[in-house]
Structure 1
Amino acid sequence: MSDPVDTTQVSDLPLEDLVACHECDLLMRRPELAHGEKALCPRCGYEMYAHRYNVVERSLALVIAALLLYVPANFLPIMQLNLLGQSSEDTVWSGVVALFNTGMQGVAAVVFLCSMGIPLLKLLCQLAVLLSIRWNIGRSYGLLLYRIYHHLRDWGMLEVYLMGVLVAIVKLADMAALSVGLGLACFVSLLMVQVLLEVVMSPHQIWQALSGEDEHAGD
């Protein structure tokens, strides 16, 4: 169910009852939603809030799945290249090491952070936040970690790395014998799980659960 957010008499409401649209900055009354409902901005149609079922449990399952995929996605061969009788198997980690060994330490550091370091840190932050809600412990630390996670969101660039891999495959396909490895399937799966996690892990429900406003975020 989708309903526009009420914008009437916002000037008379206290600040804690107001919310601004993330897209068009329209100031409006904070909506009260039942399970399964979502609220849309009446000006631009942006989805303001969505009250989803079992947010914590579903998000935990996706985070654990992503962590299980992390190691094979980064350390199993993405592709195998055969050229002039020589073959090589390339992984995400071997690409970072190759850049470092060829004197491009700065580029290697950026690739490592954006494709391996920050995505792992994001997943660990999400796991700690969800566990703090699920077990009702350390919610003040959960608030801090969730803020850190939001600052890291724009720095995890798995989709950019995947695009680079696909471009390399297309360009090398006519020059050498090329075969796709299991690592690529795991990498794509990891990316898809993280995209789904962004959808399922409703931010406003997580913030409310961490601040103690919503004790039923897992329902």
Structure 2
Amino acid sequence: MPDPVDPQGVSDLPLDELVACHECDLLMRRPHLALGEKAQCPRCGYELYAHRHNVVERSLALVIAALLLYVPANFLPIMQLNLLGQTSQDTVWSGVLGLFNTGMQGIAVVVFLCSMGIPLLKLLCQLAVLLSIRWNIGRSYGLLIYRMYHHLRDWGMLEVYLMGVLVAIVKLSDLAELSLGLGLTCFVSLLLIQVLLEVVMSPHQIWQALSGEDLHAGD
């Protein structure tokens, strides 16, 4: 665990040697981690950061996989509903259009942004940041894009949309013949990949690489 810093001695230490806990604001000396190690706050136990292996390569693979799943997840049928001889196939995009065409334009815009627009923008930001590190070009722009990504993190709500889909499936299953489509599988896979990406793409190591530091320091 990192060592807490005496407030009286903070001014004597360079800023790059200090780290603050995001949960309890305890100021500590920045630890030097070996491969696979994690740093935790000695006061509240919050994980400050971890030193993971091949962060950029693994994250790139996950981002590309998520981008490949994006189109089928949003445009392939999530479910097929058969009611009184009439069949309809619903996708994420058709849901947005349905809200818009029924006069709920404001809700349609919010659903589009949170379920399609912002998740895609987040993936493109992650891709740009990782490529700037991988190819060692435009890291100053990479810093700006990564800051933008952190502001977007709370606005991509795929899990909320998925919960809405599951609730609809449960409620409609007693009223009509319902079959699940390939789009739902792609949507769930996209959500799981994005969750895994949040774990693999260590923010500390990404900031470190964008700042020009050795990503493998401490190995």
Could you state the TM-score of these two structures normalised by the residue count of structure 1?
0.95
* Cα contact 1:10–1:29 (8 A) shared by 2: no
Aligned residue in 2 for 1:23? 23
* Cα contact 2:2–2:39 (8 A) shared by 1: yes
Change in CA separation of 1:10 and 1:52 when aligned onto 2, cut-off 3 Å: farther
Runs of 4 or more above 2 Å deviation: 8-16, 214-217
Aligned residue in 1 for 2:139? 139
2:32 matched to 1:5? no
Question: Could you tell me how far apart the structure 2 residues matched to 1:64 and 1:152 are?
Answer: 19
Aligned residue in 2 for 1:14? 14
Question: Could you tell me how far apart the structure 1 residues matched to 2:171 and 2:215 are?
Answer: 53
* Cα contact 2:59–2:201 (8 A) shared by 1: yes
Q: Deviation per CA, 1:62-96, whole angstroms, max 9, x where unpaired?
A: 00000000000000000000001101000000000
Question: Could you tell me how far apart the structure 2 residues matched to 1:179 and 1:86 are?
Answer: 14
Aligned residue in 1 for 2:109? 109
- Displacement, 1:17? 1.5
- Displacement, 1:8? 4.5
* Cα contact 1:41–1:47 (8 A) shared by 2: yes
Counterparts of residues 112-191 of structure 1 (less than 5 Å): 112-191=112-191
Aligned residue in 1 for 2:195? 195
Q: Deviation per CA, 1:160-200, whole angstroms, max 9, x where unpaired?
A: 00000000000001000000000000000000000000000
Counterparts of residues 27-66 of structure 1 (less than 5 Å): 27-66=27-66
Aligned length: 215
> Amino acid of the residue matched to residue 4 of structure 2?
T
Q: Structure 2 unaligned segments of length 5 or more: list them.
A: none
Q: Could you say what secondary structure the match of 2:24 adopts?
A: coil
> Amino acid of the residue matched to residue 35 of structure 2?
H
Q: Structure 1 unaligned segments of length 5 or more: list them.
A: none
- Displacement, 1:15? 2.8
> Amino acid of the residue matched to residue 183 of structure 1?
G
> Amino acid of the residue matched to residue 165 of structure 1?
V
- Displacement, 1:24? 1.0
Question: Could you tell me how far apart the structure 1 residues matched to 2:110 and 2:157 are?
Answer: 10
Q: Report the RMSD for the aligned CA atoms in angstroms.
A: 1.2
> Amino acid of the residue matched to residue 187 of structure 1?
F
* Cα contact 1:100–1:108 (8 A) shared by 2: yes
- Displacement, 1:9? 4.1
Identity among equivalent pairs (%): 86
Question: Could you tell me how far apart the structure 2 residues matched to 1:58 and 1:11 are?
Answer: 42
Question: Could you tell me how far apart the structure 2 residues matched to 1:183 and 1:11 are?
Answer: 58
- Displacement, 1:11? 3.8
* Cα contact 1:72–1:183 (8 A) shared by 2: yes
Q: Could you say what secondary structure the match of 2:49 adopts?
A: strand
Question: Could you tell me how far apart the structure 2 residues matched to 1:163 and 1:44 are?
Answer: 32
Question: Could you tell me how far apart the structure 2 residues matched to 1:38 and 1:107 are?
Answer: 42
